[in-house]
């Protein structure tokens, strides 16, 4: 015997199935546990669809008004937490439609004319992803502003630059932060580019082949803020590359945030001591009272895995699907929802850390001078002043580094006599290029680390962001 919920579900399906689904089938088939997140988008799509149906004469003005009133009341119910979601009704679309029919009667049953759940879900999902893109792009812009503000503050704060996480050349903290501003700007560009390709409306493609009703898809697309309707009904309901592109943009952005998070973890280690985070962005230990753990950074680093995983999961779902719609596509949403929410949290946490972290300029300056980091400056001096070919200068500098290492001094501490034993033409003037300050000041090529470059870059960024 069917339960009331099963009977309600059967009525939604029509007369095809005489009995309700088994408990297992109901559990695996239902998506209301996650797609209820799209209720706002579902109501927006239904309002636009109803207005279009009334415009072309499929609904009467009275029916369209009743639908509009009923959907508004349902939205208020959901907002207030009074809406009773039913797993038996499978998804957000059927739940809202069933409630609408309860509230307004026959007119509610007419709403689904000239559409299918296939084009309805594709539209709702695009609307949800588009909203998420807008929110994330705004957060990316906020983070860029945080990078630029701190970079301007630390345009001349010297720090070690690394390759292979080994001392390489001195740089500045401001220049380092602007590198992430560049990454986030590209991340935002990817998000906006993906949004532009997403912004076509599938509504009206119906199940897969369009509809025989005289609908106006351009009207619906305009009402929902899309640039145009999708051009092919099969592609409309069977493709999810807009979600894949969104996840790819999320994964790349999260990867950039994870790189900075890893650096913050390193920098806050007392062995480095380059920056400290405030108490509200760190945690302690249940057993070790001295601990100050950069958990916010670690969680940004960790959440990147689940965002990348969502991309791989959806690629795997869609890779074997023949056209057009298949129930596999029900698996497209949870990963997207989770990735969007995770990235939003990571962006917020990163912006908080960038604004709050306190650099230790003295520690960074001391580290910047270690590891013979001005060796390239020495080689460049040999090329400029003695006209040595760079490969010869590289060889001479390598011998001088070896000698300084043997004596336990840095290059600036290597006696001139020791230098002349390797290259007799070296003069006292060489010591003018062997400090971290001289090194960074000399890097004035476009995009270089010189403080004057960093200040100019910050000014350009502020103009771009204004």
CA angle, residues 432, 450, 412, in degrees to nearest 5: 25
- The β-bridge relationship of strands 200-201 and 228-229 is parallel
Active site residue 236: no
Catalytic hit among 49, 164, 256, 442: 164
**What is the Cα–Cα distance from 13 to 33, expressed in whole angstroms?**
20
Helix axis angle for 92-104 and 117-153, nearest 10°, is 120
Both tokens of residue 436?
A: 């971290």
- Residue 353: which residues within 8 A CB-CB, separation 6 or more? 264, 277, 281, 296, 297
Active site residue 285: yes
Place of tokens 């090529």: 445
Catalytic hit among 46, 112, 256, 285: 285
Q: Are 194 and 245 in contact (CB under 8 A)?
A: yes
Place of tokens 């532009």: 196
Both tokens of residue 214?
A: 């005289």
Q: Are 219 and 228 in contact (CB under 8 A)?
A: no
Q: Are 185 and 137 in contact (CB under 8 A)?
A: no
What are the residue numbers of the active site? Answer: 164, 285
């Amino acid at each position: 015997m069917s339960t009331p919920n099963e009977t309600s579900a059967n009525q939604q399906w029509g007369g095809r199935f005489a009995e309700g689904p088994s408990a297992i089938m109901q559990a695996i088939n239902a998506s209301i546990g996650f797609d209820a997140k799209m209720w706002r988008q579902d109501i927006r799509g239904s309002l636009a669809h109803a207005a279009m149906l009334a415009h072309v004469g499929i609904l009467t003005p009275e029916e369209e008004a009743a639908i509009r009133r009923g959907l508004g009341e349902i939205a208020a119910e959901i907002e207030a937490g009074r809406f009773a979601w039913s797993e038996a009704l499978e998804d957000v679309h059927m739940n809202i439609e069933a409630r609408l029919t309860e509230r307004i009667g026959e007119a509610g049953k007419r709403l689904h004319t000239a559409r299918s759940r296939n084009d309805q879900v594709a539209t709702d999902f695009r609307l949800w992803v588009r909203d998420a893109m807008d929110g994330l792009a705004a957060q990316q812009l906020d983070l860029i502003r945080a990078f630029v503000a701190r970079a301007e503050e630390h345009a001349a704060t010297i720090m070690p630059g690394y390759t292979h996480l080994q001392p390489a050349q001195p740089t500045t903290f401001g220049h380092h932060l602007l590198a992430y501003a560049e990454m986030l700007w590209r991340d935002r560009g990817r998000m906006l580019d993906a949004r532009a390709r997403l912004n076509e409306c599938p509504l009206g493609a119906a199940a897969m082949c369009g509809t025989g009703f005289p609908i106006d898809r351009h009207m619906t697309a305009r009402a929902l803020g899309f640039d145009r309707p999708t051009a092919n009904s099969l592609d409309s309901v069977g493709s999810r590359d807009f979600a894949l592109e969104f996840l790819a943009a999320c994964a790349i952005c999260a990867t950039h945030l994870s790189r900075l998070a890893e650096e913050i973890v390193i920098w806050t280690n007392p062995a480095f001591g380059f920056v400290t985070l405030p108490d509200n962005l760190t945690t302690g230990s249940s057993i070790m009272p001295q601990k100050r753990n950069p958990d916010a950074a670690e969680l940004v680093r960790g959440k990147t895995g689940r965002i990348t995983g969502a991309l791989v999961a959806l690629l795997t779902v869609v890779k074997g699907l023949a056209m057009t719609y298949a129930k596999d596509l029900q698996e497209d949403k949870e990963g997207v929802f989770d990735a969007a929410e995770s990235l939003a949290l990571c962006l917020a946490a990163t912006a908080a850390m960038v604004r709050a972290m306190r650099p230790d300029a003295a520690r960074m300056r001391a580290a910047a001078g270690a590891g013979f980091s001005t060796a390239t400056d020495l080689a460049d001096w040999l090329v400029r002043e003695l006209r040595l070919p760079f490969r010869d200068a590289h060889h001479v500098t390598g011998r001088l580094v070896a000698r300084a290492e043997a004596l336990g001094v840095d290059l600036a501490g290597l006696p001139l006599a020791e230098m002349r034993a390797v290259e007799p033409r070296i003069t006292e003037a060489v010591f003018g290029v062997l400090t971290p300050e001289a090194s960074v000041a000399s890097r004035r090529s476009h995009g270089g680390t010189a403080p004057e470059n960093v200040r100019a870059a910050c000014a350009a960024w502020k103009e771009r962001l204004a």
